[in-house]
Structure 1
C-alpha cells in the first residue's frame, strides 16, 4: 500500500466530510477512495470514520490518525527541500582520531575545512584505540596503519613517514646507533599501536631490514614516549609529524639517515559508500587534497638524520 497516498485520501475525506468530494478533489474513482480508506483503517488497526446516510464523522481513533497523517504529509512534503538543502555540506560530523594526529595535523586541517564549509560542525573524538563507528556514532575515523581489517570501508589519504630519534643526553651516555642492528643494545621506547616489538627499515640499496627491539617503557600514547625520550629515557620510532619540532629545536636527534623506517598509510574509515552525507564526502576530499598540498604537512617529510 502507498501509505502516503492513503494518508492523503483519509485527510481529504476528513476535511471534505464526504468520500465523493474527496474522490473529486483527488481525481480518483470512489472505489479507489474506498480501497485506500479500508487500507488506512487496516494500517491503523481501528475504525476511523462513523458512516451514516447523511454524513461522515471521525471516531476517536480517527482524530488521532488525522493528526498523524497531517504530520506525515508535512514531513513527506519537506523531503525534496531537505534533499536540496544537503547538496551543500552541512550538519554535524563526528571524527575520531589519535591525540598526536589530531594536535599535529587535524586541528589546522579542520580549521581550513570549516572556513570553506561554514555550515558544517565538527566534533573530534580523541582516542588512540580503534573505535567502533556504529556504536560510538562516528562518521569518520582516521587511522594510521598498514594492516586494515579487510571488511572496513576506507580511503587512503596520505602516507605517514617515521623517524628514529633520541635525545643528545641519551646518545652521549649510551652512544649513537649507526644501523638498525645496533638498536638491540639500546633502550627502545615502544608505542603500543606502532610496531611495539619489531621495527622495519629500508636501507640505501632498497633492501628491507627488520629488527626486534625492547625497553623498559611502552605506552599507547606517543606524548608519553616523546617526553620520556626528551628526558633521556631511550630511543623512539615515531611519526615525523610528532617529532619534527623537537628535532628542529635540538631536543631530539634523528638517527640512522641511511635507513628509512617503514611508512604507514593514513586512512579515513567510514561505514558505507552508499548515501554518503555531503559533509563526510567533502571532508574526505578536503583531507586528501590537504595532505597532498599543505606546505606544513609536506615539510615534515624532510626531517631526516644527516
Structure 2
C-alpha cells in the first residue's frame, strides 16, 4: 500500500469506527446519515484496501476480528484527533485567544502603540501580545509576524491594510529659544538657527517645505544630530534649537506649552509621515485574536487622514 493510500479511505475508517462502536450497520448508518448498504460497502472497501477482514458478520451480531480490534484502536485515535482539531479550531474561531505578534517602528511603538496595547491586554485576558520594535520593513509572511504597523501610502502587494492614523512631521522649539534668536517667517530664515536633524542620510539636513504651490529647501545646521525622535525632543526642550519631530512625539509638549510650532503654515516634507496602517496577509478566516487587536487599535487611533500624498518613512 502506498504512503498516501490512506487518504482514499479516511471516510471508510470513520464509518468502520462507528460500526464497531454501536455493533450494527443499521445503527451506524443512522448516525452517519447513510443507508445500511452504503455503510456495508464502505467497510468492505476498507477491508479490501487493508487486505484483512475487520468484521465477522453473522445474522445476529457483528464481531471484530483480531486485526479488526487493532484497526479499531488506531482508527479511533484518528477520529478523536480529527474531533479535537475541530474543537480547537472552533475555540480559536469563536473567541479571541492565543499570541499575537505585532511589529512597529521604534518611536511609534513606544509612544503610540504601547499604551493602547496595555489597555488591550486588560480587555482581552486570553490574548497575549509580542511587540517587535524595529524600524526596518518586517515581512509578516516570511518572518511569521501576525500584524505589521507601517507608515505607508501604498501597502505592499499581497498584504491587506487597515488605516490607523495619520502622522506628520512638525518643527518645534521652546519659546525661550525663539525669543533670543532672529525671527522666523520663511524657511530660509532657519539658516541662522541651530536645528536638530535626523542624520541618517546625507541629505537629512536639507529641509524641504511646501506652502500651497510654493516649495522651499534650506540646508540647516545644528550642534546636535540624532536619529531618535525622543532624543531630539529632549534636545529641543533643553533649548538646543529647532527640531523636526513626529506630531505624536511633540503633542504633549505642545499641549503643555513647553514647545511651540515653527513655520506652522508650511508643510515640512519629511520621510517620517503619511498613513500609519496595520498590514497583514489577507485571510477570510482571520482569527479573532488578530481581528480584535486591529479593531482596538483602529478605534483608539482613528484620526482624519492626510490630504496630501507625502511619502512615509522612519524617524
TM-score, normalised on structure 1?
0.70
**Residues 130-149 of structure 1: pairs in structure 2 closer than 5 A:** 130-149=137-156
The corresponding residue for 1:189 is: 197
* Separation in 2, partners of 1:166, 1:90: 45
**Residues 229-248 of structure 1: pairs in structure 2 closer than 5 A:** 229-230=236-237, 235-246=242-253
1:66 positional shift? 2.2
1:239 positional shift? 0.7
* Separation in 1, partners of 2:200, 2:40: 67
Contact 1:17 1:56 in 2 (8 A): no
How many residues of Structure 1 are paired with residues of Structure 2 in the alignment? 285
The corresponding residue for 1:283 is: 293
The correspondence for 1:7, drawn from 10, 13, 35, is 13
Long gaps (5+) in structure 2: 1-6, 304-315
Matched, 1:66 2:75: yes
**Residues 107-122 of structure 1: pairs in structure 2 closer than 5 A:** 107-122=114-129
Long gaps (5+) in structure 1: 294-306
The correspondence for 2:130, drawn from 108, 123, 128, is 123
The corresponding residue for 1:303 is: none
The corresponding residue for 2:4 is: none
The correspondence for 2:217, drawn from 190, 211, 214, is 211
Q: Is the partner of 2:96 in helix, strand or coil?
A: coil
The corresponding residue for 1:265 is: 275
Give the root-mean-square deviation of aligned CA atoms.
4.1
Structure 1 292/231 Cα, relative in aligned 2: closer, same or farther at 3 Å?
same
Q: Is the partner of 1:257 in helix, strand or coil?
A: coil
Contact 1:202 1:260 in 2 (8 A): yes
Q: Is the partner of 1:122 in helix, strand or coil?
A: strand
Contact 1:18 1:56 in 2 (8 A): no
TM-score, normalised on structure 2?
0.68
Structure 1 219/148 Cα, relative in aligned 2: closer, same or farther at 3 Å?
farther
The corresponding residue for 2:166 is: 159
Deviation track 1:255-281 (CA, whole Å, cap 9, x = no partner) reads: 223213355211111111421122322
* Separation in 2, partners of 1:47, 1:214: 85
* Separation in 2, partners of 1:15, 1:24: 13
